[in-house]
Amino acid sequence: MFIPGRRILLTFAITLAPTAAHALNYTVTNLGSLGGGGTRGLAINASGQVAGESYIPVNGPDHAFSTLGTAAIINPLTDDKGTLGGIASYGRAINDLGQVAGVSYADDTGNMHAFRTGPNAPMTAGSDIGSLGGPVTYAQGINNSGQVTGYSRLSNSNFDQHAYRTAPNAAINPLTDDLGTLGGTSSMAFAINASGQVVGSSTPTSGPAHAFRTAPGGVINAAADLGVLSPGFSSLAQGINANGNAVGQGNMGNNIVHAFYVPAGRGLLPSDDLGTLPGGPISGAFGINNSDVIVGASWINATSNTTHAVVWYGPGTPAVDLNALIPANSGWTLLQAQSINDNGQITGWGYLNGDTTQFYGFVLSPAAAAAPEPASLSMLALAGMILLRRKPARKTTDH
């Protein structure tokens, strides 16, 4: 049904949008550390809590962490998730309840076990979610139901690994949670949404690995195969939002790798290529929010082997260097953006004040938009006058 006036309102919204470009600037918060430096922010939830990994004192190994509240600054006394008994742990994902999923050494054998904590709680023996039968398991994603996804070896003698998805707040059940493959020997999962859709990569019967996206609660099958960006080369999906839209990266050959965005309901097309920063041959997309804002990293040129954190403000838009959107005197070089929430907050890591010996975790928060300039206010008023004076050409009835 056509409603007179709506087309006029849309036209003015498009006209005025460029005047708000300054709203894309960000403030930067240093996450701090667990006492030993070397911090990476890897996931951010709806309230701005961050999960990741940070060195403990002094020159100690990494421990998983999650921040409390909205300050997004690590408190070593409360935010250290501990381990499953080994020397180190690594946080990979956090849900809106504050549950963290990741991986930890369980003992001195060097085997890694996946974990899921309680809300805003450290690891306990009960945090170990088990395996598909082998000694090594990784957790990479968690949703608000407490379902965890990742990948696990199948047995002590079998080094192949399969993706899995647990039931809510349950351990891995090898009989029900193995997601299978695209016909090959291995699969890996990296993210899960509220519907239980899982994305990752799997080997097909022959050829390089393909990105996949399962149906809600489904397994890896032919319908889950997203294909590739370039025939004959591999692809990998690493992020998914509530709408089922997925992001990742595809190998293009000749040492070229490009980020991609693929909408729900179909596989990859060449037009899903998100490109890179100008001159850079490599980019990757790692996170996406429900507004389809995408974050990742891109090489800044073909020779320096240096990445910058980037954002794409939707599919079909160019990569924007996040270093250009923070205060020029901040001291930061943002290297990788890993995760973004629906408030537009971004977490990742970079260098600070010229120190390239360790990573520093950050949170970017959209800066408050300035008040409209008088010219903009005049245009808004004019739009309102036109809308008020518009008369329907004929009476319409809702259906």
Instruction: Give the model confidence (pLDDT) of 194-215 as tens digits.
Output: 999 999 999 999 999 999 999 9
Provide the 3-class DSSP secondary structure of residue 361: strand
Three-point CA angle 286, 292, 296, nearest 5°: 25
315 closest CA partner among 260, 371, 356, 363: 260
| pLDDT band at residue 108 using 50, 70 and 90 as cut-offs | confident
Asked if 164 and 175 count as a contact pair (C-beta separation under 8 A), the reply is no
Mean pLDDT of the chain: 87
What's the domain range around 160? 30-375
Provide the 3-class DSSP secondary structure of residue 394: coil
Assigned domain for 70 exists: yes
> Between the CA of residue 82 and those of 35, 36, 103, 266, 303, what are the distances in Å?
14, 14, 11, 41, 40
Assigned domain for 100 exists: yes
The pLDDT of residue 377: 35
Assigned domain for 3 exists: no
Assigned domain for 23 exists: no
Task: Name residues whose C-beta falls within 8 Å of residue 41's C-beta, 6 or more positions apart in sequence.
Answer: 31, 50, 51, 52, 338, 339, 347, 348, 349, 361, 362, 363
Q: Which residues pair with 284 in a beta bridge?
A: 297
Domain count, the chain: 1
DSSP 272-328: GEEE-STT-SBEEEEEE-TT--EEEEEESSSSS--EEEEEESSTTS--EEGGGGS-T
**Average pLDDT of 34-63?**
93
Report d(CA 20, CA 191) in Å as an integer: 32
The pLDDT of residue 110: 85
Assigned domain for 339 exists: yes
The predicted model scores a pTM of 0.86
Amino acid letter, 48: G
**Average pLDDT of 34-38?**
91
- The 10s digit of each residue's pLDDT in 65-80 is 999 976 679 999 999 9
**Helices vs. strands in the chain: H and E counts, helices first:** 2, 25
Q: What is the DSSP letter of 381?
A: H
Percent of the chain with pLDDT over 90: 80
Assigned domain for 391 exists: no
The pLDDT of residue 101: 98
CATH number, position 142: 2.130.10.150
The pLDDT of residue 7: 31
The pLDDT of residue 71: 67
Assigned domain for 14 exists: no
- The 10s digit of each residue's pLDDT in 306-319 is 999 999 999 999 99
pLDDT at 397 over 80: no
Assigned domain for 9 exists: no
The pLDDT of residue 283: 98
